[in-house]
Amino acid sequence: MTIDFSKYAVSGITKLSPYQPGKPIDELAREFGLNPSEIVKLASNENPLGPSSKALAAIEKELKDLTRYPDGNGFELKKTLSEKLGVSTKQITLGNGSSDILEFIVKTFVNPGEEVIVSQHAFAIYGLVTQMQNGKTVQVPAKNWGHDLQAMVDAVTEKTKIIFVTNPNNPTGTYNTKAQLDAFLSQVPSHIIVLLDEAYFEYVDKPDYPNGIDYLKAYPNLVVTRTFSKAYGLASLRVGYGVSSEQLADLMNRVRPPFNVDSLALAAAVACLKDENYVRQSKELNDQGMSQLEAGFDQLNVNWIPSVGNFICFEIPNRAMDIFQGLLARGVIVRPVANYEMPNFLRVSIGTQQENQRFLLELKDLLAG
């Protein structure tokens, strides 16, 4: 007898489509019969520098204790973050990637039918975790490919529980200024949670870019999330964190699964926080790569959206998916963003100089075809 288990699943789950990550190198190699060593992956905003030597040493030290559960409280990582950020350890929630924190905050506060406000072209996970809770995602139209914070405030209703703000935004790379964030936070009702996603914080050096941690004392309803997956080069280990008031952290830790961050990730994250040279090199490599791609797009007469992250969106009117498939066949993986209501754009992550050049050469050839 065949049973349709979807009839018994939570209604919000049955309406979901799984999140689609960038295509893995091994999958592309199998699909097109390519040599994996010759494939360039520029799809998932990963750090092309390679891992920190200090992180690798920390991981090696932990290997002998793989039979033991990790520190469920993440004491050393919280202590190191506390010292670096100037916050209490009680304000920190650790996650299996910062996406964990996004899920914790929705699970903690959103009941069926309640509303979560997001921006058009913002990270897809916000809507997915909201739907899992049978919440309602309210999407506010973007302004110049970024968040229209005033419009997001104006969208608040009596059913609003959370507002997600991504700064810088993924996938567009835009950012909101300190003045814009000041005005926004001052208008949000104090009982509504604001989650400020700063996954790409370390790449930004604009003088008018705000540091979310600076707002925590004034706004107890604020949660700031960051990750070790990007500038710290630990995407494979999945470790991130949220910083908030002690009360919000306590509530989120009640829904946080035990041992959600493994021992290797905890040790590597501590080591990376102490490896300032690695983060500096990551930033320098990203700046150089961004300039290289911008210049390359200009030479090809390809429009692009100015970005302060480690990725950039470029426009291929009416041919985006054809170009995407063409690049795949040539061993270059980028990211289509049609599911972000950007059907004429592709997103490319910043790679090494050689990887960026390979991408530009293949793109030039395809555009000429």
Q: What is the pLDDT of residues 309-363, one digit of tens each?
A: 999 999 999 999 999 999 999 999 999 999 999 999 999 999 999 999 999 999 9
List the domains of the chain with CATH numbers. Answer: 21-50+277-368 (3.90.1150.10), 53-274 (3.40.640.10)
9-13, long-range: CB < 8 A, 24+ apart: 10/132, 10/134, 11/134, 12/112, 12/131, 12/132, 12/133, 12/134, 12/135, 13/132
For the whole prediction, is pTM greater than 0.85? yes
Q: What is the pLDDT of residues 177-197, one digit of tens each?
A: 999 999 999 999 999 999 999
What residue has token string 């405030």? Answer: 153
For residue 139, what are the β-bridge partners? 118
For residue 58, pLDDT beyond 80 = yes
| DSSP H or E segment with residue 186 | helix 178-187
pLDDT for residue 18: 64
pLDDT for residue 369: 76
Helices (H) and strands (E) in the chain, counts: 13, 12
Position 137: which residue type? T
Q: What is the pLDDT of residues 294-323, one digit of tens each?
A: 999 999 999 999 999 999 999 999 999 999
What residue has token string 């999945």? Answer: 238
Q: What is the pLDDT of residues 7-50, one digit of tens each?
A: 766 776 666 666 666 667 888 788 777 788 888 999 999 999 99
Percent of all residues in the chain with a pLDDT value above 90, rounded to a whole number: 89
Q: Kindly state the average pLDDT of the residues 268-296.
A: 97
The strands making up 335-336's β-sheet, listed across from edge to edge, are 311-315, 345-349, 335-336
Cα–Cα dist 95/262, whole Å: 10
